[in-house]
Amino acid sequence: MAEGNGDWLRVRGIGRERFATYLADYLTSIGYTVERSETAEPAESRVRGTLARMNPAVPPVGAALAFRFYPTSGGAGLVWEAPTEVPADQRARMDRFVRELSSHLERAVATESHATAKVIVPSETRLPWAAPKPPASPP
C-alpha cells in the first residue's frame, strides 16, 4: 500500500493518530483552523487546514492544506493531498514552508518520544507539484 500512495513522509515508532496530532497541533499554532477525521475502513486519518490568521511564512497557495495518514508496519505514512499545484512565483516560498513543516514534525516526534520514534523521508518522497518529469524521448 505504501509505495503507490505517494508518501511525503513516514514515521516509525508511533501510530497514524499520534502523527496526525503532531501535524494538526503545528498547523493550529501557525494560524490554521484544523479539521480532523478518522475512518476504520480503510484505516486512515485526514487533516485539513485552512489559514485563519495571516502568516507571512505561508504563501497564498498554502492557505488550504490537506493530508492523509495511513498505518504502515511499525508506524505511519503521510501523503500530501492539497495543494497539488504551486504557481512558479510561489514555489520558493512554498518549498521553504514545506521544509519548515517537515523539520517541525521531525523535532516534535523525536522530542516527545525521547528519540525512540523517527520521521523518515522516503527515498522517493513525493509532493504533488514536484512530480518527476517524464524521461526525454530520443531524437
Question: What's the Rg (C-alpha) of the chain?
Answer: 15
3-class DSSP assignment, residue 60: helix
The answer to whether position 86 is within a domain reads: yes
CATH of the domain at 23: 3.30.310.80
Q: Is residue 47 part of a domain?
A: yes
pTM: 0.84
- The whole-number mean pLDDT for each consecutive block of 10 residues of the chain, a chain of 139 residues, reads 63 90 94 93 92 91 94 90 91 91 90 80 73 53
Residue-wise pLDDT tens digits, 53-75: 988 889 999 999 999 999 988 89
Q: Measuring CA to CA, which residue among 59, 55, 10 is closest to residue 29?
A: 55
Residue 2: the pLDDT is: 40
Q: For residue 88, how many other CB atoms are within 10 A of its CB? A: 7
Cα gap 137→123, rounded to integer Å: 25
Q: Which residue segment(s) compose the domain that 95 sits in?
A: 3-121
- Strand spans (E) along 86-131: 118-120
Is 130 inside any structural domain? no
Domain presence at residue 109: yes
